[in-house]
Chains A and B, each alone.
Chain A
Amino acid sequence: MSAPTLPSSSQSSQQSAERAAVLDTAGASDVPLTTSDRVRGSFAGAGRAVAPFAGPVAKVLKYLSLVVACLFALTPLVTIFMASFKTDEEYRTSGPLDAPKSWFNFHNFAVAFTQGDMLRGFMNTTIILVVSIVGTVLIGAMTAYAIDRFDFRGKKLVVFAFLLATLVPGVTTQVATFQIVNALGVFNTRMSAILLFMGTDIVSIYIFLQFMRSIPKALDEAAMLDGANRVTIFTRIVFPLLKPAIATVVIIKGIAVYNEFYIPFLYMPSSDLGVISTSLFRFKGPFGAQWEVISAGTILVIIPTLIVFLALQRFIYNGLTSGATK
């Protein structure tokens, strides 16, 4: 990166004081700081180093914009959350912004769970989720191992084939994929979704590939000298060391599969095979006007996501960053 050219302006006393503070924090820390710590550290100074009179106004505007953003993000969710606790009559007589009379009226949730087939949806989603994640992890790890640890004829072509495939958006090819799923005889079975989730995930392969590079090849070589074959090296040495990459893939893939709509919708039309998304989609028919039940179903689908998010925030942020940039 080229050095930024910055016009130097005359400095107010406040700014030089600020500069000293920045230098001080930098000097005082003998523990190595992570990049983000350093960035935050320097920004802590930078934030106050803006032109002195613009400071407070800028600060108010900044927090105001953040609060407005939160209101935009939360209002649609909060109103549907409130609606899910209302009785049928209460829903019809109150406005969307009115709180429910009782926060302990779980009737709508019970209706959504039993009549709305949510239980079956959760079960089908769980089965598909577990099998396709295991498959994705194995496929991703094997591909990355073959590409990173071997030199072989045609390697460039293989890499190019995977790379090119990332450019093909899944939705565009469904017309033809449908015929293949049909020909394999898995249409309207859970296997259709499982195979498609396993077979079209190239992002996971990249995550494994990036991580595989950081595992020293000397480990493989030492084991090979001990007489281990490639399969043993892969299963006993490399695969266990891939744990962080596996965790990332499990999280990203898990969220993607849980949220997937069109694959189960197209390939598993039978109501016995409803997953979370398709079961919830079917609420639109029978519960057409019963918004309090639809709200409850929606909240039931969102709650597991919220729990996972709160528990695994850091991993989710890191996973998405590494997944999306490759």
Chain B
Amino acid sequence: MAALTETAAKLPPSPTPPRGRRRGRRPVSRHGWRITPWLFLLLPLAFLLVFTYVPVFNMVGYSFTSWDGLDVQMPFVGLDNYVKIFTTPELFRVFLVSLYYLAGAVVQMGLALYFATILSFNTRFRNFFKGIIFFPYLINGVAIGLVFLFFFRPGGTLDAVLAAVGFHHPPQWLGDPSIANWSLAATSVWRYMGLNFVLFLGAIQSIPGELYEAADLDGANSWQKFRFIIAPGIRQIIGLTFILSVAGSLSVFELPYVMTGGANGTTTFVIQTINTAFTFQKVGLASAMAVVLLVIVLVVSWIQRRVFPDQKGDLV
């Protein structure tokens, strides 16, 4: 400590470092050497630019061309790609597929909210139930795809369970185009419900206990406690989860790609985009599709920030 004060005495405190100081004399100030923060940020910013911003800008650029991804020439075609997306029914209908997943997401949030609420009350084997409900979220997506391929296949687990309860003529869960998307959306609910559940549970448990005690004194019943204490307390996280669900249902890829490969009307927006770009070599058109998706996601996020403003204040 003595050494510390001695050093401090030698160096006069300078609130702002004078320009042009060299390495040799280190300024003692909160601000430090002007370039230092940029040295720490060099690598992170390089990654941010190269893997997020440059792709976004390039993609917008490609979307106005009919580039095939290989040619040196990038023929400019103006808004043709965008016109094509909104006027070609085959291209447009993939948007409708995400509605199945969105419906699934609503069911998923309802279930998650229910289980989070009942498990926040005193329950036997609480951690056991919590673990089982949550675990599917951690499983590898390809593994889940295969598990449910086995579950839904003709003569598979689901058919066997139905037969056991006396239902002997099940439909083709993944083969029938009118059902396939519902089966996939249900798989998605199975996979992601655990995450919503744990987030809701965490939010409920961070509500101060005094509120419940006060409610008890007022003679509130369980429903009233949910309605007036829990619901306002987790509004924020519900808003966030809903946005993540909207963005998620627009960018579904893994499960349908593994389970049906996009057959029987289960092609999602991302499968379509990736096929257009990498199988059919239409990078221009695929970029325009990706831009449309990006714009939708950004608009939805912006709406969320309007509707559920962040009370904690952001970052700095």
Question: A residues near B, CB below 8 A?
Answer: 1-11, 15, 18-19, 22-23, 26, 33, 35-36, 38-47, 49-51, 58, 62-63, 65-66, 69-70, 72-77, 79-80, 83, 95-97, 138-140, 142-143, 145-147, 149-152, 155-156, 158-159, 161-163, 165, 167-169, 171-180, 195-196, 198-200, 202, 205-206, 209, 217, 221-222, 224-227, 229-230, 234, 255, 258-259, 261-262, 266, 276-278, 280-281, 283-284, 291, 294-295, 297-298, 301-302, 305-306, 308-309, 313, 316-317, 320-321, 324-325
Contacts and interface: CB of A to CB of B under 8 A. Distances in A.
A225 B8 contact: yes
B275 to A, nearest CB: 11
B19 interface: no
B146 A262 contact: no
A3 B155 CA distance: 56
B314 A4 contact: no
Nearest to B223: A50
A325 B7 contact: no
B118 A66 contact: yes
A26 B19 CA distance: 60
Interface residues of B, number: 123
A23 B214 CA distance: 10
A175 B285 CA distance: 10
B258 A324 contact: no
Contact of B143 (A43, A222, A298): A298
B5 to A, nearest CB: 8
B31 interface: yes
A262 B254 contact: yes
A70 B274 CA distance: 36
A152 B208 CA distance: 38
Contact of A66 (B115, B164, B195): B115
B199 A80 contact: no
A9 B111 CA distance: 30
A259 B216 CA distance: 45
Given A22-B216, A42-B216, A227-B7, A163 B51 contact: no
Contact of A150 (B31, B207, B229, B233): B31
B79 interface: no
Interface in B181-236: 190, 195, 198-199, 202, 204-222, 224-225, 228-229, 232-233
Contact of B41 (A49, A142, A163, A301): A142
Given A7-B224, A95-B160, A199-B50, A171 B141 contact: no
A255 to B, nearest CB: 6
Contact of B218 (A6, A176, A202): A6
B120 A43 contact: yes
A321 B198 contact: yes
Contacts of B160: 79, 95-97
A21 to B, nearest CB: 10
B216 A177 contact: no
Contacts of B136: 73
B62 A176 contact: yes
Contacts of A97: 157, 160-161, 164
Q: Which residue of B55, B58, B225 has the most chain A CB atoms within 10 A of its CB atom?
A: B55
B205 A39 contact: yes
Nearest to B58: A176
Contacts of B76: none
Nearest to A38: B209
B53 interface: yes
B37 A146 contact: yes
Contact of A44 (B122, B218, B290): B122
A51 B222 CA distance: 9
Contacts of B294: 168-169, 172-173
Nearest to A158: B41
B167 interface: no
Contacts of A209: 315
A294 B315 contact: no
Contact of A321 (B32, B147, B199, B218): B199
B26 A227 contact: yes
Contacts of B247: 169
A317 B47 contact: no
A49 B190 contact: no
A302 B40 contact: no
Contacts of B99: none
A179 B129 contact: no
A39 B195 contact: no
Contacts of B204: 39
A177 B297 contact: no
